[in-house]
Chain A
Amino acid sequence: MSDANENPQLNHHAKGKRPKFYDDEASDQLMSMVMVLASELNVMRDRIDAQERVAKQHGIDLAGGIEALELDDNALEEREAWRQGFMSRLFYLARKEAEEAQIGETKEKYNNTIDEIAQP
């Protein structure tokens, strides 16, 4: 497995002004956060389920081991790095909006594109 940090970076934003769906723009932000959280909750649920199933195949009492676990510095660091990545995904819309402001994406530009490329 190669180290992701050294890999070429792909685009994570789609070019084109993102529409607003709610009267209050904050609701659009919140809705996105809620759904990302739901996605990660689903990951955790799947992972716990997988752990329990694998452990069971090997006759291991996982629940007891989890309760007895103590985290060392390395484990704490790994968890922090994971959380930072998670928060980066959680604040996706803010990043998208800043980029749109930076490069000048507007609704007018999007509408103009529709009109322009529909021209025979």
Chain B
Amino acid sequence: MLNCFQQGHHDMLPKTTHDEASRQEFAKSLRGFIQHSTLPGLQPIYEKRVVPKFKRDNGHEPKGRQDIRRAMVKNSYFQLYASSNRIAQELLWESTVMSVERQLPALIERAKELSAQTEAKLVIPSDFVPPKYVSAIDIHCMPGGYCTEVTDADVSAGVVYDRGVYLYTMGYTGPDNDDMGRSVCNFLKRNNPDFKPRRILDMGCTVGHSTLPYRDAFPEAEIWGIDVGGGCVRYAHARGVALGREVNFAQMNAEETTFEDGYFDLVVSHILLHETSGKAMPKIFKESERLLSPGGLMIHADLPPFDLMDPFTQFILDNETWYNNEPFWGAMRDLDQIKLAEEAGFPRESVRFDNAPMAIMETTEGSKGYSDQSKEAVADREFTAGEFAPGGGWEVLIAQKPLIKQEEA
């Protein structure tokens, strides 16, 4: 089944010329091709060629993902896989950046017009300093990263991300890139049907793509999306209006927000934690705990820990650390997240990992390329480690603040 998924339209998306659209489609198709045609070959190459050679040279089998990596980087098939995957990423961003650059002034004006139409708040402090873990390296090779602003009222980081992440995910997160948010909302509705959060915080929301589903799921709630990128939240605010789902956004660091204690009943994040750092992650858990009201829930949807998978799968996934500017990707998977949540003040028995099934099957009505056949092919296909979309669901870490906090003995 061919993947011809197309991004859903909204008024903040850049228009593409014929040639820009064609370059972007090429980058998306190349990513898809590498996943379904090149990636699966790594396993037999490893087992049949690399392991025997490693044993001859070292007298034992490769022991962990570090051994596997040292052996694999010398193999020509792996070199072709890894280099073409990196180049696909570079083509994806360049084809997006050149399109956004061409129409940036018009996009900035459109964002202003849309944002002026809503009562929802947009808070951008003048003295905000982005944390080092997003400014030291441009994460997942997005030129300029989340925080660069090249002109007044810049929205380019948000526009580039919204279009680029659709190409990166190859449409597997739905026409509005919102599958993670929808999946967590569905998970909550199914497992906590009586839970009616009055206020919801989405940490590291980028362009609000995962935030907006909470507007649909909890129409009465006050919802905030926060991110370290000013251009991201500015864009997110306008994008929400363009999609008819108005949400408050603020440029804020999830380690230290300005909301008062116990303000939220639900604190969530979607693929945020692996883009932070070893110092920041415990602070984000502590901040989540501080912000929750008694009985409130913290849900972080991110990467499953390495101890749940075999060393070869760990090696494949850790390629993102080395080849895609994701410096915390590997180290984050080695952390004991349950212990971190406990140290942040959540009772051990309230903390667990679970799986939120992908919502894509029910969220793609009426969008080009998302036929019933192609959706089923996504939902039912065999999953190869290293593909973007996980087989069937997202890993979620859940913790609940007690109704009455236990006094320290």
A residues sitting closer than 8 Å to B (CB atoms) are 1-2, 4, 7-16, 18-19, 21-22, 28, 31-32, 35-36, 38-40, 42-43, 46-47, 50, 89, 92, 110, 113-114, 117-120
Give B residues with C-beta under 8 Å from A: 18-19, 22-23, 25-27, 30, 79-80, 82-84, 86-88, 90-91, 93-95, 97-98, 100-106, 132-133, 136-138, 141-145, 148, 150-151, 154, 156, 160, 277-280, 282, 321-323, 325, 327-328, 330-331
Contact of B138 among A15, A32, A40 (CB under 8 A): A15
Whether B86 pairs with A14 at a CB distance below 8 angstroms is no
- Complex A-B: 27 CB contacts under 8 Å: A2-B106, A4-B101, A7-B105, A8-B101, A8-B151, A8-B156, A9-B101, A10-B156, A10-B160, A13-B143, A14-B90, A15-B136, A16-B141, A16-B325, A21-B79, A21-B82, A39-B95, A46-B18, A46-B25, A89-B94, A92-B94, A113-B327, A114-B328, A117-B328, A117-B331, A118-B328, A119-B278
Which of A31, A117, A120 makes the CB contact (< 8 A) with B282? A120
Question: How many pairs of residues, A versus B, come closer than 8 Å at their CB atoms?
Answer: 144
A15: B residues at CB distance < 8 A: 136-138, 145, 325
Query: Are the CB atoms of B136 and A117 closer together than 8 Å?
Result: yes
Contacts of A31 in B (CB 8 A): 80, 83-84, 87
Contact of A47 among B19, B27, B278, B327 (CB under 8 A): B19
From DSSP, what is the main secondary structure of chain B's interface residues? helix
Which of chain B's residues has its CB closest to A85's CB? B98
Given contacts A18-B86, A117-B280, 17 further A-B contacts (CB under 8 A): A4-B101, A4-B102, A7-B101, A10-B144, A10-B156, A14-B138, A14-B142, A15-B136, A15-B137, A16-B136, A31-B83, A35-B88, A40-B23, A92-B94, A110-B137, A114-B327, A117-B278
CA distance A46 to B102 in the complex (A): 21
Cross-chain contact A118 with B141 (CB below 8 angstroms): no
A-B pairs, top 7 by smallest CB distance, nearest first, are: A11-B144, A117-B277, A118-B331, A21-B83, A16-B137, A14-B138, A11-B143
